[in-house]
Structure 1
Amino acid sequence: MHSDAAPDETPGRPPDTGLRADAERNRDRILAAARRLFATEGLSVSMASVAREAGVGKATLSRRFATRDELVNAVFADRMDAYASAVTEALADPEPWRGFTGYVTAVCAMQAADRGFADVLTMTFPAAKALEKRRAESYNAFLELVARAKGTGHLRDDFTSQDLVILLMANAGVVNATGEAAPDTWRRLTAHMLRSYAAPGAPLPALPDAPARAALYRAMVRLTRPGPT
């Protein structure tokens, strides 16, 4: 029976490419399974569930990813890159207020597209060094974006970086609560918050329609009876 652990290489002996290919396939299966589960169920999914979804044993999962932080780091590396790119694009906008509102909306959209990422943006993973490094870089760039937006007089002087964290926490809650029942609810929350950040006279973002009562009711039912409604 094959093991997915890569053998030691010895001088004069070619590596066992078959076993290495098996190990790489297992890693890809684990990452794909984790992405699916994290995106639909959030980060509360157990490592055992990830192993079952991937069709591998717990020992195989542990060899590839010894901790949850390692798995989260691998799964969300590309999304953290997109998160960092969003603030870079916002800083490049010649109109800082538009860059600010566009950035906040883009990040909230990323949360809405992936429940797992919605959680990632409101949690810390000390052992996931690469992920946390990208988060720190994005945070510092966001501080510059805030300063520029305030310089236009359009962003309230009392806005702080903590306000974005509060919004992301609130948005994660809305995304997780509404699910497929009212999937665009986050847009209205985000627009309301952006309007509250605006100084008098600032251009206000459009306010999307509120979710239909029936859709919001289905979301409320979903909270009490998890699963398809």
Structure 2
Amino acid sequence: MADKAAVRRGRYEQARRNDYAVIAAAREVFIENPEAKMADVAHRAGVGQASLYRRYRTKNELLNLVCADGLNAAAADAESALRASGDPWEVFGAFMVRFLQSGAGAQLILAGSFVPDESLIALGGRVSRLVQQVVDRAIAAGVLRSDITGSDLPLLAAQLGSMRSANKLRDRELQRRYLGVILDGLRAPAHSQLPGRAPDQEEIEKRWRST
């Protein structure tokens, strides 16, 4: 019995590692090229195509899971920021670094390239509310300019996340560099009023539903 339990645990752990590898590979492949095929994901993840299709029936299903993975990470980052104590600007800056790394903003690049499940739209709404709370907290502390909204942040992250080349380490270095520039522009006191109006959640959702 013990041997059978160990075998089951081993298979479960292997399946979990495969899932992680596939989601990570799919995020990279589809952000690089939204028209990529499932075969490209299998190749990047190092798994067989048959194995991939057994777990993910369609590209649309896989894209929903990829985006849900990033949004769940973003929700966890926002919750962590809301629990954090210490210097309010340092808390906000650390959140922005994690938010960029989660890929939640970068995945806006995929908006319109697949049909999002209603559960994904609902998850996006939850993340939006949490991020708005992070923004409100920073504004109330006097460290974030008051004309910024939570809906501005994923669009900023999307612009940074679109920086892609064959050198991933260099991409990450440049993303962090320009995030530093953006953070300086976000910090209070602001030296000018931002032109135009901020996006709202409806505008963000329209990007996802544009297929």
If the length of structure 2 is used for normalisation, what is the TM-score? 0.63
Matched AA of 2:81: A
How far did residue 87 of structure 1 move?
0.1
Q: Residue type matched to 1:88 in 2? A: E
Query: Aligned-residue CA RMSD in angstroms?
Result: 3.4
Of 42, 52, 56, which residue of structure 1 is paired with 2:49? Answer: 56
Runs of 5+ consecutive residues of structure 1 not aligned to the other structure: 1-23, 112-116, 202-229
Aligned equivalent of 1:90: 81
Residue type matched to 1:120 in 2? Answer: Q
CA offset digits 1:103-129 (Å, max 9, x no partner): 111111334xxxxx6642544454334
Whole-angstrom CA distance in 2 between matches of 1:119 and 1:157:
24
Identity %: 26
Is 1:104 the counterpart of 2:96? The answer is yes
Superposed CA offset, 1:155-185 (max 9, x none): 1111133431331122112245752345411
In the TM superposition, what whole-angstrom CA distance separates every residue of 1:17-63 from its partner, at most 9, and x where no partner exists? xxxxxxx9xx8797466335335434423123235653234xx7556
Asked whether the equivalents of residues 122 and 165 of structure 1 are also in contact (C-alpha less than 8 Å), the reply is: no
1:34 paired to 2:22: yes
CA, structure 1 residues 30+93, in 2 after alignment: closer, same or farther (shift >3 Å)? closer
Give the count of matched residue pairs.
Answer: 171
Distance change >3 Å, CA 143–CA 188, structure 1 → 2: same
Aligned equivalent of 1:184: 173
Compared CA separation, residues 75 and 30, structure 1 to 2 (3 A): farther
Distance 1:165 1:181, change over 3 A: closer
Give the Cα–Cα distance (whole angstroms) in 2 for the partners of residues 168 and 179 of structure 1.
16
**Higher RCO (CA < 8 A, seq sep 6+):** 2
CA contact (8 A) 1:90 1:103 kept: yes
Match of 1:14 in 2: none
**Residue in 2 that maps onto 1:219:** none
The answer for the alignment partner of 2:198 in structure 1 is none
Secondary structure of the residue that 1:99 maps to in structure 2?
A: helix
Q: Any conservation in 1 of the 2:88–2:138 contact (CA below 8 Å)? A: yes
Structure 2 spans left out of the alignment, 5+ residues: 1-11, 191-211
Confirm or deny: 8 A CA contact 1:83 1:107 kept in the other structure.
yes
Q: How does 1:1-229 map to 2 (within 5 A)?
A: 31=19, 34-35=22-23, 37-43=25-31, 44=33, 45-51=36-42, 54-57=47-50, 64-75=55-66, 77-94=68-85, 95-111=87-103, 119-124=106-111, 126-176=115-165, 179-181=168-170, 183-200=172-189
TM-score, scaled to structure 1: 0.59
Contact 2:74–2:127 (Cα < 8 Å) also in 1? yes
Cα contact 2:26–2:41 (8 A) shared by 1: no
Aligned-partner Cα distance in 1 for 2:109–2:150:
13
